[in-house]
């Protein structure tokens, strides 16, 4: 089903992008803006389809993690560099504990978790405020946290943030199906970790998750 949905969607994106290029110049500014809106809406629909497929795979147990030792310092640096065109990565500060051991993780799935959390932090916080990503060791596990200085999360939403299709009070009118944080939880659970959120109204929110350590000798510690 996802394949059948994605094919016509991809055609829409390609044709709308072609229209936007053809409608260059000030005389077609309104028409070009309309074509660009079609591109953005189609891409958003593509993300929703991906989220639905991902959630279905996890719920059916059809996800197999390709785990390997992941050194978080270079991993996070590379991820933010690659996301620079899609996210305001200039606002993101990364702090990795010196000598941090490697994580036992699936890099592609871990990328999805971090991108989701960082994207949300940037989206729901003022543009002139930073987002802080930290990584450290606690109780024989790695802890990765993403903190923002946004409006905070209503205490009534905190227990349900990672539920399927849940949309918090501050997300009305935003894009998505309420699956992003649910998929984050499913990925972290599959790694044997846990995920949680802490927030104070008016001061921001911090999302954290744990990952298991890679076995000794699996990777050199980060310097």
In the chain, where the domains are located? 2-60, 68-212
The answer to whether the beta carbons of residues 146 and 117 sit under 8 Å apart is yes
CB atoms within 10 A of CB 54: 20
**pLDDT for position 61:** 72
What tens digit of pLDDT does each residue of 91-132 get?
999 999 999 999 999 999 999 999 999 999 999 999 999 999
DSSP assignment of 66-132 equals --EEE-HHHHHHHHHHHTTTTS-GGGEEEEE-TTPPPEEE-HHHHHHHHHHHHHHHHHTS-TTS-EE
**pLDDT for position 216:** 67
Give the residue among 65, 75, 53 at the shortest CA–CA distance from 187: 65
Query: Mean pLDDT lowest for which of 3-12, 18-27, 157-166, 181-190?
Result: 3-12
Reply yes or no on whether the pLDDT at 49 is more than 70.
yes
Reply yes or no on whether the pLDDT at 90 is more than 90.
yes
Q: Output the average pLDDT for the chain.
A: 86
**pLDDT for position 7:** 81
Cα–Cα separations (whole angstroms), residue 126 to 28, 84, 135, 148, 201: 33, 18, 23, 9, 14
- 220 falls in which pLDDT band (50, 70, 90)? very low
What tens digit of pLDDT does each residue of 163-183 get?
887 766 655 445 555 788 988
**Would you identify the CATH topology of the domain 68-212?**
Heat Shock Protein 90 (3.30.565)
**pLDDT for position 172:** 43
**pLDDT for position 213:** 96
C-alpha to C-alpha distance for 128 and 123, rounded to whole angstroms = 12
């Amino acid at each position: 089903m996802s394949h059948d949905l994605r094919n016509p969607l991809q055609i829409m994106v390609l044709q709308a992008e072609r229209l936007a290029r053809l409608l260059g110049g000030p005389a077609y500014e309104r028409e070009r803006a309309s074509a660009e809106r079609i591109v953005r809406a189609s891409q958003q629909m593509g993300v929703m389809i991906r989220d639905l497929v991902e959630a279905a795979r996890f719920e059916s147990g059809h996800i197999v993690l390709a785990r390997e030792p992941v050194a978080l310092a270079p991993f996070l640096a590379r991820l933010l560099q690659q996301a620079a065109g899609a996210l305001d990565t200039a606002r993101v500060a990364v702090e990795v504990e010196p000598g941090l051991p490697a994580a036992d993780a699936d890099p592609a799935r871990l990328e999805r978790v971090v991108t989701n959390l960082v994207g949300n932090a940037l989206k729901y916080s003022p543009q002139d405020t930073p987002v802080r990503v930290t990584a450290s060791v606690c109780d024989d596990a790695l802890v990765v946290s993403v903190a923002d200085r946004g409006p905070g999360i209503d205490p009534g939403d905190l227990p349900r943030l990672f539920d399927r299709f849940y949309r918090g009070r501050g997300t009305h009118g935003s894009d998505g199906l309420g699956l992003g944080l649910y998929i984050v939880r499913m990925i972290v659970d599959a790694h044997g970790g846990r995920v949680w959120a802490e927030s104070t109204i008016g001061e921001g929110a911090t999302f954290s998750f744990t990952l298991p350590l890679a076995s000794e000798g699996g990777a050199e510690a980060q310097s």
